[in-house]
Amino acid sequence: MKRPKKADISQSTIASNQVVEDKTARIERLRKILLEKRAEILKEAKEEIKKFHSGENKQLVETVLDDGDLSVVDLAEDISLRQLSFHRETLMKIDTALQKLREETYGFCEECGEEISERRLSIMPFAIYCRDCQEHKETVAKIEQYNAD
């Protein structure tokens, strides 16, 4: 993966402060998007479990889900629901994204290193390419497929 390009902060001190603030604000906004998505998924997973389970098991799973702990979902591993494993995967992706966010590697295009727009990330939190690179890749894939036919 290419390193994200460094913003040009050479112009003046004011400009450099501005860049730092923008970066921090962006990270905070992205964190919010991810945490909201996480809460949404947890709620959905909880409802899925409710639908299929009752009694002690349900009680146990609900207690852990209320804590918002990912290990809950580990606990529910034996419950082989396709829907649940989908939620679980998404939760793991969100946690990976949050980890990347802490390391300041989240939200950058893996192709060109540019920032991926917040609008794009709010719709596709796990996007790893910016729109331009994604489109480029899709075009190349289409051409390759066309040539293969």
Q: Of the two residues 60 and 112, which places its CB atom closer to Zn ion in the complex?
A: 112
Indicate whether 121 belongs to the interface with Zn ion (CB under 5 A): no
Q: Of the two residues 59 and 117, which places its CB atom closer to Zn ion in the complex?
A: 117
- What distance in Å separates the CA atoms of residue 51 and residue 81, rounded to the nearest whole number? 11
Taking CB under 5 A as the criterion, which residues in 96-115 touch Zn ion?
Answer: 109, 111-112
Tell me the backbone φ, ψ of residue 22, rounded to 5 degrees.
-60, -40
What is the smallest separation between the CB atom of 111 and Zn ion, expressed in angstroms?
A: 4
Question: Which helix (DSSP H) or strand (DSSP E) does residue 31 occupy?
Answer: helix 13-52
Among 33, 34, 42, 133, binds Zn ion (CB under 5 A): 133
Q: What angle do CA 95, 110, 25 make, to 5 degrees?
A: 60
- The DSSP-derived string for 51-105 is HH--SHHHHHHHHHHHTT-HHHHHHGGGS--HHHHHHHHHHHHHHHHHHHHHTT-
String marking each residue 49-88 x if it binds Zn ion according to CB under 5 A: ----------------------------------------
Q: Of the two residues 41 and 109, which places its CB atom closer to Zn ion in the complex?
A: 109
Query: Given the rule CB under 5 A, which residues bind Zn ion?
Result: 109, 111-112, 130, 133
